[in-house]
Structure 1
Amino acid sequence: MFSRNLNKSQTESFSKSRRNTKVKSSFREHAVLKTRPDRSHRKAPAEENSALGSTLTSSIITLVVGREQRLFAAHEDVLCHSPFFQAACRGQFLEATNKRISLPDEEPEIFSSILEYLYKGDYYPRLVHNKRRNAWELETGDESAGSIESTVYHHGVDGDLLKDTIIYCTAEKYGLDELKRVALRKQGLQSGIQCSTILASARYAYANTPDSDSKLRAHYLALIIRSRGTFKRSGTMQLEMHAGGSQIFFDLFVALCNHVDDISSIAGSSRIVRTHH
């Protein structure tokens, strides 16, 4: 997979500090010609269902992504491990003459991560297992390049959102359940996120996942409850609720009520035990 600009002057779709560094390098590093699988992580869908080498003999599909019309290329068989792209390649979305699919509402940086996952089974920064601590961590990468940004600018909301949340929601749309699990685990490893970014990302998550998909929503509810002291001091939550809010605030209310009920139940059980003694 690779990309290039149709209009070189348009470069504003990427997160502020990675527009000219991380993004460009990620496009080069994960080109379609790089076929060696990454043995240290879960295999990509293309590797699980057939030999990756055989899938790379399929035809090349061109994808026109975002407002800037950035061009990507990927093998049809690799794309078709997503039900969304399988339908697109077989249906009306594919321009038959030049095998091109247009995705004007996607963010190029996010789509780059989607393709990286389809080819390699993970996306930057990768998940690595710390054997000493027996815990999953995000790879640190090249320390000289600076810290890894956890947010991405999204044109649809005209602001920064958590990258892993956008990837989770995009994976939901593309029918990539394993990618959803990877994105959710990575988001759980993030820290130091501003309250405004958490709430904006939570609103995006609610708007772009079905009601039956509760995992990402539950993550945000737990995150807000854990960070309740910070939210109380910042005033961000108050402004959001005055503005009307969304379903997240009712869910948060229910979660807090359940938490209080659990505490009351434990306290009641303790009183009964002391009475019997």
Structure 2
Amino acid sequence: MFSSSRNHRPSDSFSSRYGTSKATKPPKSSYREHSVSRGLQRTESVKSTRQEHAHQAAPAVGSTLTSAIITICVGSEQRIFAGHEDILRRSPYFETLVKSQFFDNKERRINLPDEHPEILSAVLEFLYKGDYYPKLLHNKRKDTWELEDTQNDTKTTIFHPVAKQTLMRDTVIYCSAQLYGLDELKRLALRKQGLRNGMQISTILASARWAYEHTPDSDSKLRAQYLTLIIRSRNNFKKSGTMKLEMEQGGTLFFDLFVAMCNHIDDLKTVRSPFASPFTR
């Protein structure tokens, strides 16, 4: 599975740091404006975070590393990754593919043409190590959770060729975790996104749309995080031309935002006007 060892910077992807990927391309015949200063807010308590993260220890991989190697062809550039079968089968999605494809197939390959190589790299890192870069660290002195290497913002966003826009990396990881049936990875991505700062409004809105398009209506946590962010940073968003254009396109996102803002106003418990509203009669 592992390629020859090399020295890598801390920001390198899981594929380069652990040797699970190479940038070789298989033969073609084989395959066919604006800034928001405050960060995304956490939606649950630090105590709950600690309890969940305590269960995210690196999986006991001992005997599983002797299982068969499966190659994964990712994205339009056909990047090649490799993983042990028993590790991949911790994902219900990959387990189904393994069962359906590989019993009578000596090639042992999975094709993911719409996946982003960097996102699949993070998913593999989680399956092997229980986390993905940058790691979530507990600050014992402050009793808070923090991201390692916060000065390096290269892992905050990615340009996704399917969306043709820059998206928040944790959002895309969350949506891929939804597809692959990895609930712990979803929770981890949500926590990390809650610690991000200084996102562009265009990136936030594009990521919110991606979240709505790639999560079911029953999965509201990621959506709620975006609605909360927009409401809390409403002074920035209401001045944004990007926001205006996005709202003109419409969609479920903006109806949910309207409902959330109505609920927010109700919760403010402001002093009612002496003039009765005709809608209350």
TM-score, normalised to structure 1, is 0.79
Q: Deviations over 1:66-120 (max 9, x none)?
A: 1111110000000000000000000037881221111111000100000000000
The more displaced of 121-130 and 91-100 is: 91-100
Deviation (angstroms), 1:147 = 3.6
1:257 to 262, 271, 275: 262
Pair 94,2 (structure 1): closer, same or farther in 2 beyond 3 Å: farther
For the pair 1:78 / 2:83, whether they are aligned, the reply is: no
Computed over aligned residues only, the root mean square deviation of the Cα atoms, in angstroms, reads 2.5
Pair 245,234 (structure 1): closer, same or farther in 2 beyond 3 Å: same
Query: Counterpart of 2:16?
Result: 28
Pair 229,95 (structure 1): closer, same or farther in 2 beyond 3 Å: farther
Q: Percent identity?
A: 58
Pair 126,94 (structure 1): closer, same or farther in 2 beyond 3 Å: farther
Instruction: Work out the number of aligned pairs and report it.
Output: 237
Query: Counterpart of 1:184?
Result: 190
Task: Give the 5 Å matches for 1:111-190.
Answer: 111-140=120-149, 146-190=152-196
Query: Counterpart of 1:241?
Result: 247
Any conservation in 2 of the 1:63–1:101 contact (CA below 8 Å)? yes
Letter in 2 for 1:139: E
Query: Counterpart of 2:112?
Result: 103
Q: Deviations over 1:224-261 (max 9, x none)?
A: 0111111122222111112x221010001001111111
Letter in 2 for 1:176: L
Any conservation in 2 of the 1:64–1:102 contact (CA below 8 Å)? yes
| Paired residue secondary structure (1:229) | helix
Distance 1:118 1:215 in 2: 22
Pair 156,93 (structure 1): closer, same or farther in 2 beyond 3 Å: farther
Which structure carries more relative contact order (alpha carbon 8 Å, separation 6+)?
Answer: 2
Any conservation in 2 of the 1:61–1:101 contact (CA below 8 Å)? yes
| Paired residue secondary structure (2:107) | coil
| Paired residue secondary structure (1:101) | strand
2:213 to 190, 207, 212: 207
Letter in 2 for 1:173: L
Distance 2:2 2:237 in 1: 41
Distance 1:66 1:168 in 2: 18
Query: Counterpart of 1:62?
Result: 71
Letter in 2 for 1:42: Q
| Paired residue secondary structure (1:149) | coil
Pair 217,111 (structure 1): closer, same or farther in 2 beyond 3 Å: same
2:96 to 61, 78, 87: 87
Deviation (angstroms), 1:29 = 1.5
Any conservation in 2 of the 1:93–1:102 contact (CA below 8 Å)? no
Pair 125,52 (structure 1): closer, same or farther in 2 beyond 3 Å: same
Q: Deviations over 1:207-228 (max 9, x none)?
A: 0000000000000000101111
Pair 147,251 (structure 1): closer, same or farther in 2 beyond 3 Å: closer
Distance 1:25 1:222 in 2: 30
Pair 201,227 (structure 1): closer, same or farther in 2 beyond 3 Å: same
Distance 1:247 1:95 in 2: 43
Pair 126,23 (structure 1): closer, same or farther in 2 beyond 3 Å: closer
Deviation (angstroms), 1:28 = 2.6
- What residue ranges of structure 1 are gaps of 5+ in the alignment? 4-19, 33-39, 269-277
- What residue ranges of structure 2 are gaps of 5+ in the alignment? 21-53, 273-281
Pair 94,191 (structure 1): closer, same or farther in 2 beyond 3 Å: farther
Deviation (angstroms), 1:25 = 5.3
